[in-house]
Structure 1
Amino acid sequence: MGDEDFLDLAAIAELLGVQVNSAQVYHKRAVRARREGTAKPWDMPEPDNVFGRSPVWREAKIRQWIESRPGRSTEAATEARRQGRAE
Structure 2
Amino acid sequence: MALLITNSCINCDMCEPECPNQAIAMGDLIYQIDAARCTECIGFYDSPTCQKVCPIDKTIIVDARHPECQAELWEKFVILQGVAPA
TM-score normalized by structure 2? 0.29
Higher relative contact order (CA 8 A, sep 6+): 2
Which structure is larger by alpha-carbon Rg, 1 or 2? 1
More helix by share: 1
